[in-house]
Amino acid sequence: MKSLFLSTVASLVFAAGASSMLAASSIDQHASDLLKGDCDRECMAFIVDQVLASMVVHNPYILPMAAIYQATENSHPAALGMMTAWRTVTEAGPPSLLAIDTTQGSAYFALDVSEGSDTERSILRGRVKVVNQEITELEVFINRYRGDHGFSFSAAELPSNYEALMSPPDNRTKASRAALTALSEALFATSSNMSVRVDANCQFTEIGWKVIDTGTYNNETTTPLSCSWPSDHPTDENARVGLVIDEKLGFVVTSGMIQGKVYPYQNVSAFIPDAMTSSQEAQNVWLNEVKARGVKGLLAPTEATGETLEVLQYYNDALQTMQINVYMSGPNMTSAWL
């Protein structure tokens, strides 16, 4: 994948200097071959590489866009030429996680990127949909720190955490497309009796980081939390299910709009969904305790909405990966994609 990405960057740098439109002369023969006929996994991977490389050269106009396309950046709609990513990203790719759905012509990607700083890297993630080798939908998010989502964050640990997910065991039992679809439909369902077995080594991350429970805020726990499939979970009756279903690697991507509150959390803050009532109640107890001690500088609990692109990986009849990827906006918001 890396050599393909590097050739894409080189091709697009040339294209950016030669023309504002993607032309056959702007890509090598191998790239041209990938964009002929049906878009298979290699073709979809190449298009994702094109998206990332176009950000590096700050030129979205060299992408193979459909005549009419839909696009959002951090939940708000805009033409690609007006998006921040194509102005700020200076280094990107290849993706650390890439899920590809050749049936729907869609893909999900996630990676750490530079916006001019080698020490403060951002996390870029997104979804692309392709019809006739042209991009018809592009949904991107840039999380720069945990304030963008109120969850744990680590651009530095993302590559190593995601590396194992891209190379599952060769002798695994793959889930059917129907099973992965059912998993997606149950994730944010208001009513579902689906039982999901969780593998003992299931990797649980929030925005690139393996989550460590700090408990009562003063312990020394360093063991990452495992995944869970709780009966009490955030729900969204309008969830966008099965956005990407990768039958080869077992990934499924689902989006939900989750209502919740941003609470003070030690000296920072955290987003807690309204469905997690016990967690909100525990945070209220803690808040009252620290207020009684005269602690100052605490954020007032504030209503918010978390827009998710949640990623699950399922094979060997068990959940292997759960990624909670959130971008926050104001209260009672809905998705531009509905």
130 plus 18 within the same structural domain? yes
DSSP string covering 119-154, please?
SS-EEEEEEEEEETTEEEEEEEEEE-SGGGTSS---
200 plus 301 within the same structural domain? yes
179 plus 318 within the same structural domain? yes
192 plus 55 within the same structural domain? no
Whether 153 is in a domain gets the answer no
88 plus 208 within the same structural domain? no
Q: What is the CATH number of the domain that holds 113?
A: 3.10.450.50
* pLDDT computed for residue 9 by the predictor: 57
34 plus 182 within the same structural domain? no
Single out the residue in 113, 144, 175 at which a domain terminates.
Answer: 144
* pLDDT computed for residue 233 by the predictor: 86
CB 292 within 8 A of CB 298: no
Single out the residue in 93, 113, 144 at which a domain terminates.
Answer: 144
Whether 37 is in a domain gets the answer yes
The whole domain housing 241 covers 166-329
182 plus 102 within the same structural domain? no
Q: Where are the beta strands (DSSP E) in the chain?
A: 65-73, 76-77, 97-101, 106-113, 122-131, 134-143, 198-206, 209-210, 240-246, 251-255, 257-265, 268-273, 302-308, 310-315, 318-324, 326-329
Domain count, the chain: 2
**In this predicted model, what pLDDT tens digit does every residue of 100-145 receive, in sequence order?**
999 999 999 999 999 998 789 999 999 999 999 999 999 999 999 9
Whether 154 is in a domain gets the answer no
CB 44 within 8 A of CB 36: no
The segments of the chain whose pLDDT lies below 50 read 1-3, 14-29, 216
Task: Tell which residue, 206, 248, 246, has the closest CA to residue 107.
Answer: 246
CB 115 within 8 A of CB 60: no
CB 171 within 8 A of CB 150: no
228 plus 276 within the same structural domain? yes
Whether 300 is in a domain gets the answer yes
CB 98 within 8 A of CB 71: no
Whether 11 is in a domain gets the answer yes
Predicted TM-score of the model (pTM): 0.90
Whether 14 is in a domain gets the answer yes
194 plus 295 within the same structural domain? yes
33 plus 115 within the same structural domain? yes
Give me the residues paired with residue 77 across strands: 72
122 plus 208 within the same structural domain? no
268 plus 129 within the same structural domain? no
Whether 158 is in a domain gets the answer no
At 10 the three-state DSSP class reads helix
Whether 132 is in a domain gets the answer yes
